[in-house]
Structure 1
Amino acid sequence: MPNTLSRATLSTVAVASAFTLVTACGSAPEDSASGGSDSGDFTPCMVSDSGGFDDKSFNQLSYEGLQTAAGELNVEPITVQSNSPTDYTPNLNNLVDQGCGLVVTVGFALADATKEAAEQNTDVNFAIVDDSSIELDNVKPLTYDTAQSAFLAGYAAASYSKTNTVGTFGGSQFPTVTIFMDGFADGVKYFNEQKNRDVRVIGWDVDAQNGSFTGGFEANEVAKNTAQGLIDQNADVIFPVGGPIYQSAAQAIRDANRPIALIGADADVYVSDPSVSDLVLTSVTKGLATSTEQVVKAVGDGSFDNTPYVGTLENDGVGIAPFHDFESQIDPALQGELDTIRAGIIDGSITVTSPSSPN
C-alpha cells in the first residue's frame, strides 16, 4: 500500500567517524577552521546539547544536515559536543574564536548561551533548533509544529490499539516535548469522534497540561519504569518523547512479552535505530536535517536572514514515517484516512492547536 505521508520521512544514516568531532570544550584541529574553495573562508559550526551527536534523534539529524550542506559548499565544518549544560557557553566561545561564520546550536537548552554569544558577536550568524525565544538580527530560529504530525500518529495509534489504551510520556516538561503529546492525544480524540470509539490516552492530560515525565532525556531506569507504568495500565501503543528515552521504553516493551507498539519521535526510528525496528509502528518526524542544511547553505551563499523557520505538514517540515513492518497489521483504510486528515490540516478544515505550537 502506498504511503504518501512518507514524503516527510527523514532518512537517517549513521554518523560517520571520519568527520571531525570535538567533545566538551576541546579545540578543533587547526585545519578544521579553513573553508573550501567554493565558499571562501566560510566555516559552518554546530554545538550539540548534552544528548550528543549520536542520540539517533534531533542532535544527530541536525548534524547530518550540517554535513550535507558543508559537502555541497565544499567547506569543512567544526562540531563541538556538549557533555553537560556547563559546556554550552565555553563551547560557543570556542567556535566563535575559531572564526565560524555560522553557529548552529541544537536544542532549546542552549537558548541563554546562544543569545549571550549572539549579542556579544554581532558579526557572527547563529541558528538555534527548537527555540523561538531569541529576537536578534543574527539569530534564526528553527522550529517545528509537531502537533500536526503527532495528531496523525495519535489517530493511527488509536486505530491500531487492541486494548483501547495508548500511552505517552516525556523527558522533561518543556514546550518542545509537550507539543508532541498534545497533538498525539488530540489525534486519539479525533479518532474517537470519527469512529464512535473510546480509546483512552494515559500519561498526558491536554486540558490540565500535565502528565508523566522522566525528568531528563537519558535512557535509564526511570524512563524504563515510566514506560512500564503505562504498560501496567494496559497500553499497547507507547509514544516516548525525548531523545533516547525511547530505548528504555523498548526494553520495557520487550520485558512485557506481549504485543506493544512503539512510536518514535524526531527521526524515523525504524531507520535510525534498527535494534528496535521490529517494535516501531511509525514515528513523528521533524525536518531537522533539511532545515539545518538550508540555513547553512543560505549563510554560505550570503543570503542569511533571521525569519523564523516553522516546519509544518504543508512544507514537509514535519510528518509521520511509514508503517514499515506494521503495514500488514493496520486497518487497510487507515492510510487513506490519514491522507484525508493531512489534507484537512493543511487546508485548515481540521484545526490542530497546542499551547506550545510555534507562532
Structure 2
Amino acid sequence: MKTNKIKVLALIFGMILVAVMAIAGKKTNENKTFLSVATASTGGTYYPIGVGLANVWTHALKADNVQVTGQSSAGSVENIDLMQKDEAQLSILQSLMAVEAYEGVRNFAGRPYTDLRSISMLWPNVEHFVLMNGKAKNGTLDDIDGTRFSVGPQASGTEQSTLIILQGVDLSKAKIDPEYLGYGDTIAAMRDGRLDGGALPAGVPASAVTDMYASGVAARVLDVTDAQLEQINAVANSWFRFVIKPDTYPGQSKAINTIAQPNILTTTRFIDEKTIYTLTKTMFENLPDVHQVHSSAKYISLENALKGVSVPLHIGAYKYYREAGLTIPAYLIPPEAKAAAGVDPTSSANL
C-alpha cells in the first residue's frame, strides 16, 4: 500500500514537473522572435533564396533570439494574402505585383494594400525580347509591331509583364499576331520559322537565349531605349536599366541595353522598426554568406538595394539606408517617416 502511495506521489510530482517545464518552455518562446518569409514553389528561385536568407538571419541573430523560416507558396499574389493575414511577416514579390497591390490596380483593382512596405531589391528578372534578324529593323522594341510574337503562357507572370511593356511602347495584342508559348517552345518555333520572336524574362544567362544563339537561330535580343523605359514605367513603375555584357551569350559581341524588373523583399508597416532595421543591417553586413545562398543572390548589395523598387520602404530599412549614406527617392520614404517629420504622408517632398 505504502509502495503504491509512493508511486502515485511520484507520478503526481512528475506531472507537475512536466507542467512546470512546459510553462518555462513557453516563456522562453515568448522571448523569441519568430518570423516567416513567404516565397514560391520549391522548384523556382524564390524558395531557395528565401530559405537561405532565413538561415543567414537565424544564424547571425542567434544571440538576439530571432528565428526566421522560409515557407513555400503559390508566389507573389498569395504572398501578399499571407502577409495580410499575418501568416507571413516577410515575403518575396515580383516588383510589378507589389506596385499593383500597393496602388490597388489590375490584379488588385479596388483593394489597395497600402500597408505594404519594401525592404530591398534582391535579384532582377532581365527582359529578353528576342526577334528574328529579318524583322529587326532598328533593333528596339518598336520592331515587334506586326510580328508573330509569343507573349508567354496564358495567365503567366511573363504574359502580364510583357503586355504592360508593350502598352508602354504603344503596342498591344491587336498590333501583333500573339502566341502563348513557354521559353523552349518559343525558340523551337523561331527555329522552325513558325514564329518571329518572343518575350523571355529570366536571370542572366537565360538558358533558352543561350540555346538560341548557340544553335544558330538567326535572331537577336532587342534593345530598350531610355525613352521606351520611361514610357513603360509610366504604365507601371517597375523596371530599371540592365546591360547584358558582351559575350554573355555565344556570339554576342556587343552589349545589349535592356531592362529588368526586380524581385523584392517586402514586409508590412505593422512589423516593428527595430526588427526590420536589424534584418536589413544583418543582410548587408553578411553578404559573403548571402551570396552563397544561390547564384542569383550575388545581385544583393547596397548598390542595387533600391533599383526598381517603387513601394515605400519600411521605416526600419529606411533608417538603415540613411545611416549607410544611400540617396533615397522621395517616393520611397515611408509615410510614417513623413508623418513623424510633420510632412504630409501623401506628398512627394524629400526629407
Same fold (TM over 0.5): no
Structure of higher CA gyration radius: 2
Q: TM-score, normalised by structure 2?
A: 0.38
Q: TM-score, normalised by structure 1?
A: 0.38
